[in-house]
């Protein structure tokens, strides 16, 4: 342990995981047997460009981890698909295969069962398949994976995409990606002979995005530009969105805010006017950690998002995405989460949203319990 460049150790403060990873990396370079530490700090070592090759050779080439989630949500007015409640049991199995020291493959199989009806509806899909690795100092991901854009859980997009993603830098991170939103296929034209008509489940066509982010002490900053073609809920027109956001940590609290600007001023279906500007403000206290029983968190968010400022929202309740055809939504959400035992986490959220272009509104209570192994 050499300490910092000026010869000091800073022993009067807590060490960060990044600093500990640097110590582990130096120990590995000197031939020390630190396999257990290397496994614990594998993510941080990867960010330093340090491969734990010796450890990888001692482990299985393919690793499996899984998650099962029981979810229930109840609606005030039954906006979503004409029902006032939904409940599902979702199982996900991830397959991680190490290709070589620099590349790995990730696949995910999902099974979802409907617990409300009596017909036993369920479906199993091979939802994600991609490779990830490095070319020089550039992080690369290619294939089908979930993509979250616009800060937080995905205020602009949270959905599977078929894309190539590139990441540059450590302290200041630049991201570039290009691809298409999954299941986006125009199968015909609407009656006007111009607007594309999409197959069920489609959200948009091709897209590209550029993001920039960094950390200055307790302050995190991010910005992005996103360009989507043939957006279904906008009648097939294109949509370009700018976003800028910040988050600030003070004690156990975290405050975040995101501003979004779209170039869309109306929905072509029905000619409804939509605002160009949207924003999201959130405040969180602590947060449940799967590895720590008894840990908990409380959080709240306020949303004002016209239809042009999001493609498919990443929040848990379905109301935001149901209100896309009504010009977007505004309202608030509050939630709590709690770790009952190691790797068993529960959460409950309450949301109250109004549609932008009519008097439609709905309130939701959403809940889940997740088991991971």
What does the domain layout of the chain look like in residue ranges?
1-59, 60-372
Distance CA 159, CA 182 (A): 8
Give just the sign of the alpha carbon dihedral 8, 12, 18, 21: positive
pLDDT value of residue 272: 74
3-state percent breakdown (helix, strand, coil) of the chain, nearest 5:
15, 55, 35
Residue range 170-227, pLDDT digits in tens: 889 999 999 999 764 444 555 555 554 544 456 888 999 999 999 999 999 999 999 9
pLDDT value of residue 36: 76
Rg over CA atoms, the chain: 22
Percentage of the chain surpassing pLDDT 90? 54
Residue range 225-262, pLDDT digits in tens: 999 998 887 878 899 999 999 999 999 999 999 999 99
Give 82 or 146, the one with higher predicted confidence: 146
- The set of long-range contacts for 83-88, using a CB threshold of 8 Å and a minimum separation of 24, is 83/116, 85/116, 86/114, 86/116, 86/318, 87/114, 87/115, 87/116, 88/112, 88/113, 88/114, 88/115
Q: Are 109 and 128 in contact (CB under 8 A)?
A: no
Residue range 36-62, pLDDT digits in tens: 777 777 777 777 766 555 554 445 678
Residue range 2-31, pLDDT digits in tens: 666 666 666 667 778 778 878 888 887 777
Give 53 or 143, the one with higher predicted confidence: 143
pTM listed for this prediction: 0.78
Q: Are 129 and 116 in contact (CB under 8 A)?
A: no
pLDDT value of residue 190: 54
- CATH number, domain 60-372: 2.40.160.10
């Amino acid at each position: 342990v050499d300490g910092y460049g000026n010869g000091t150790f800073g022993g009067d403060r807590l060490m960060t995981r990044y600093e500990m990873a640097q110590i582990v990396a130096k120990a590995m370079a000197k031939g020390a047997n630190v396999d257990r530490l290397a496994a614990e700090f594998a993510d941080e070592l990867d960010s330093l460009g340090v491969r734990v090759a010796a450890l990888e050779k001692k482990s299985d080439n393919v690793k499996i981890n899984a998650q099962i989630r029981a979810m229930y949500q109840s609606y005030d007015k039954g906006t979503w698909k004409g029902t006032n409640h939904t409940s599902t049991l979702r199982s996900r199995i991830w397959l991680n295969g190490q290709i070589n020291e620099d590349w790995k493959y990730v696949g995910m199989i999902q099974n979802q069962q409907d617990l409300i009806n009596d017909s036993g509806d369920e479906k199993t899909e091979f939802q994600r398949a991609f490779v990830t690795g490095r070319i020089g100092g550039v992080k690369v991901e290619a294939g089908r994976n979930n993509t979250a854009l616009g800060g937080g859980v995905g205020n602009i997009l949270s959905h599977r995409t078929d894309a190539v993603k590139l990441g540059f830098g450590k302290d200041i991170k630049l991201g570039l990606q290009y691809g298409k939103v999954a299941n986006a296929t125009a199968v015909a034209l609407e009656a006007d002979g111009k607007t594309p008509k999409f197959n069920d489940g489609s959200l948009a066509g091709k897209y590209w995005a550029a993001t920039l982010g960094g950390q200055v002490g307790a302050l995190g900053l991010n910005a992005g530009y996103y360009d989507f073609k043939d957006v279904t809920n906008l009648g097939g027109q294109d949509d370009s969105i700018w976003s800028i956001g910040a988050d600030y940590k003070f004690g156990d609290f975290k405050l975040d805010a995101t501003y979004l600007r779209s170039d869309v001023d109306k929905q072509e279906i029905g000619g409804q006017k939509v605002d160009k500007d949207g924003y999201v403000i959130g405040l969180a206290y602590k947060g449940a950690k799967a590895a720590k029983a008894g840990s908990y968190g409380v959080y709240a968010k306020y949303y004002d998002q016209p239809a042009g400022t999001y493609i498919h929202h990443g929040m848990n309740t379905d109301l935001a995405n149901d209100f896309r055809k009504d010009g977007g939504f505004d309202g608030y959400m509050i939630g709590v989460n709690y770790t009952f035992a190691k790797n068993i986490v529960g959460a409950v959220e309450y949301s109250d949203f109004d549609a932008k272009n009519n008097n439609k509104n709905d309130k939701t209570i959403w809940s889940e319990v997740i088991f991971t192994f």
